[in-house]
Amino acid sequence: MVVYAGQGDPRRSIELLWRASVAEKRSGPKPGLSVDAIVDAAIAVADEHGMAFSMRAVGERLGRTAMALYTYVPGKNELVDLMYDRAMAELPTSYELDDGWRAAVTRWATDMWEFYGRHPWVLQVSQARPVLGPHEFAVIEALAAILVPTGLPGRELRGIVGAVNYFVRGAAQTVAEARAAGGATGEADEEWWYARSAVLLEIEPDLAKKFPMLHLLENDREPIDPELPYLENDAVENFRGGLKVLLDGVEGALTSSPP
Amino acid sequence: MVVYAGQGDPRRSIELLWRASVAEKRSGPKPGLSVDAIVDAAIAVADEHGMAFSMRAVGERLGRTAMALYTYVPGKNELVDLMYDRAMAELPTSYELDDGWRAAVTRWATDMWEFYGRHPWVLQVSQARPVLGPHEFAVIEALAAILVPTGLPGRELRGIVGAVNYFVRGAAQTVAEARAAGGATGEADEEWWYARSAVLLEIEPDLAKKFPMLHLLENDREPIDPELPYLENDAVENFRGGLKVLLDGVEGALTSSPP
DNA sequence: ACTGCTTCTTTATGCCGTAAAGTATCGACC
DNA sequence: GGTCGATACTTTACGGCATAAAGAAGCAGT
């Protein structure tokens, strides 16, 4: 299972995403399930077990076999598309601009960051060929609605939207993966790091001399929140610091071009 | 197969990564393969088929069964770690600073971008618990060596390194996924996009009214390089534009804090 | 009561990573 | 030179995956 997205039959996928199916009178047994129920169950399973969830597991959670799902959904690819868009429905669709665009973008980014924390499997869904669901659109619309009023030209805006998006995804991915690794192996960050670096230093004793700049970079690290595990602290620091730099850059673009 | 990294036995993995194994006299048949040969073959297979390559496929390319590989490598996880670090050996380990840090960072980012284009499966390897191989270190060291001389404090530097890293990864991921999707389905970007948007507009005719800011954002798009496929053009535009904004932010940090 | 459609289960196919056991090949020692 | 034990590699097998194909059971319209 590598990367999913937009790989099903276009018409079927989009009809499902936009819930454009017409409820007709039908013969046969009453449906015991629904697309929504299946998508919800699948999200719950994926939240726990990551993108490597199985159709069997989703079926089991609903008291059915895996094959029963295929009555409602063409395949796992399409199900993932539906999960993706449905999860996005949790996110706000607009942000107040009273405190300026910078505060609003920061809130957007933080919301996304927390969202990815709740649903890490979303980071596994390809962005290249977007799912094109209504909620995905709404989320990007929300960011666009913050930035368009700054008056920057289209090309520049797209660069900014892309950069913010990539950055948040990347930052979130690191935490998500750290958590997943910890959960899968039952090995906390500290233990993992300790075991690895001990062996590493044993095999390569003068690591600090070989990579002096890295060594400098890692100096004077202080935990932001001592409650958080090791690697997550790094991630939070990187997220805040990186976002600041990025938004400074946007500010620069604003002052250099006429508002 | 979701995300691999640093999940094998620490000692064994790190010994393999740093090639710390001692070549002893051994009885038994001469080895017909080697770790290097296996890693090279695996990279070749992964370049073609993505992270969903199989041990069987790697073995076949070497004229062996899948199980033969397990003589040299503990498992697929460890093999991926080795592939990751070996691929990174392609990248430069230092950059000239004659034209200033900005030019150097741009070259670093562009090199990474192209590297991810050659080996898209690398983007699938988790960054959270790093592989800790020598070449991965060297690549980050190269970026650190560009930025440390700017004199910025450690915390700020880490934020910048993280942001640049996340950004390049995210941007590259989008192209990589677009290419992968195109290769897998045999459907070019244009066809895909055309089929999807046609259906979408049919089902949701006033899309532009529902998401007006998005519509504005997508205006006045002009291809940077008409030779490139649709989505890759977007990606190149986003990469250049985003990197510019990001580096403007770094510049701001530099002028505000004393050099 | 019959027909035709629908829901859901059963069974089967062909992938995957890898454990276990077997075979062939070599160096070291008697 | 014959034997022993370690090594390289293959065969077979297991449990997992998505899903194709076929069958059982339920219900509406005639």
Give the DSSP per-residue string, B104-166: HHHHHHHHHHHHHHH-GGGGGB-SSS----HHHHHHHHHHHHHHGGG---HHHHHHHHHHHHH
More confident residue, B182 or A137: A137
Residue of B nearest to A237 (CA): B159
Residue of A nearest to B154 (CA): A217
Report pLDDT for A256: 75
Report pLDDT for B210: 93
Residue of A nearest to B232 (CA): A128
Provide the positions of strand D that have an atom within 7 A of a protein CB.
5-12, 16-22, 25-29
Nearest nt (C1') from B57 Cα: C16
Average pLDDT of the segment spanning B77-99: 96
Q: How close does chain B come to A206, measured CA to CA in Å?
A: 12
User: Which residues make Cβ contacts (< 8 Å) with residue A34, sequence separation at least 6?
Assistant: A72
Say whether the CB atom of A54 is under 7 angstroms from strand C: no
Average pLDDT of the segment spanning B126-130: 70
Average pLDDT of the segment spanning B64-85: 95
Q: Can you tell me the distance from the alpha carbon of A59 to that of A46, in angstroms, rounded to the nearest whole number?
A: 13
Distances (CA, A) of B129 to A33, A168, B87, B212: 40, 18, 18, 41
Which ranges of B204-229 would DSSP assign to H, the alpha helix? 207-210, 212-217
Lowest mean pLDDT among B2-11, B156-165, B166-175: B2-11
Q: What percent of chain B has pLDDT over 70?
A: 82
Contact A250 B249 (CB under 8 A): yes
Q: Can you tell me the distance from the alpha carbon of A146 to that of A131, in angstroms, rounded to the nearest whole number?
A: 23
**Which string of DSSP letters, residue by residue, matches A161-202?**
HHHHHHHHHHHHHHHHHHHHHHHHH---HHHHHHHHHHHHHH
- The amino acid that residue B213 corresponds to is M
Contact B109, B169 (CB under 8 A): no
The reply to whether A92 touches chain B by the CB within 8 Å rule is no
pLDDT of B1 strictly over 50:
no
Average pLDDT of the segment spanning B122-150: 88
Average pLDDT of the segment spanning B147-159: 90
Tokens of B94: 């230092």
Find, among A194, A117, A243, the residue nearest to B129 by Cα: A194
Sign of CA dihedral B81, B85, B90, B92: positive
C-alpha dihedral (B17, A120, A145, B208), degrees to nearest 10: 100
DSSP reduced 3-state for B4: strand
Burial B191-225 (b: 16+ CB within 10 A, else e): ebbeebeebbeeebeebeeebebbeebeeeeeeee
Contact A241 B6 (CB under 8 A): no
pLDDT of B212 strictly over 50:
yes
pLDDT of B179 strictly over 50:
yes
CB contacts of B7 in chain A (<8 Å) are 181, 184-185
Point out which residues pair with A125 in neighbouring strands.
Answer: A4
List, as ranges, residues 196-255 from B with C-beta within 8 Å of A: 196-197, 199-200, 203-204, 207, 210-214, 216-221, 231, 234, 237-253
With cut-offs at 50, 70 and 90, classify the pLDDT of residue B141.
Answer: very high
Contact B158, A237 (CB under 8 A): yes
- With distances taken from each CA to the C1' atom of nucleotide C27, the closest residue turns out to be B27
Which of A217-226, B5-14, B139-148, B233-242 tops mean pLDDT? B139-148
Q: Provide the 8-state DSSP code for A108.
A: H
Say whether the CB atom of B57 is under 7 angstroms from strand C: yes
Report pLDDT for B8: 59
Which ranges of A50-153 would DSSP assign to H, the alpha helix? 55-61, 76-88, 101-118, 134-147
Q: Provide the 8-state DSSP code for A248.
A: H
Contact A161, B217 (CB under 8 A): yes
Report pLDDT for A111: 97
Residues in chain A where the model's pLDDT stays below 50: 1-4, 6, 259
Q: For A130, phi and psi rounded to 5 degrees?
A: -60, 155
Angle between helical axes of A154-185 and A189-203 (0-180°, round to 10): 90
Say whether the CB atom of A16 is under 7 angstroms from strand D: no
Q: Can you tell me the distance from the alpha carbon of B140 to that of B130, in angstroms, rounded to the nearest whole number?
A: 12
Report pLDDT for B4: 46
With cut-offs at 50, 70 and 90, classify the pLDDT of residue B232.
Answer: confident
Say whether the CB atom of B151 is under 7 angstroms from strand D: no
Residue of B nearest to A254 (CA): B245
Tokens of B205: 């005719």
pTM of the model: 0.89
Q: Is residue A98 classed exposed, middle or buried when 0-12, 13-18 and 19+ CB atoms within 10 A define those classes?
A: exposed
List, as ranges, residues 31-50 from A with C-beta within 8 Å of B: 50
Contact B119, B43 (CB under 8 A): yes
Distance B9 CA to C19 C1' (A): 18
| Side-chain-facing half-sphere of A185: CA atoms under 13 Å | 19
Report pLDDT for A136: 93
* Mean confidence (pLDDT) of chain B: 85
Report pLDDT for A2: 43
Distance A28 CA to D29 C1' (A): 11
Q: Can you tell me the distance from the alpha carbon of B250 to that of B160, in angstroms, rounded to the nearest whole number?
A: 7
List, as ranges, residues 154-183 from A with C-beta within 8 Å of B: 154-163, 165-167, 169-171, 173-178, 180-181
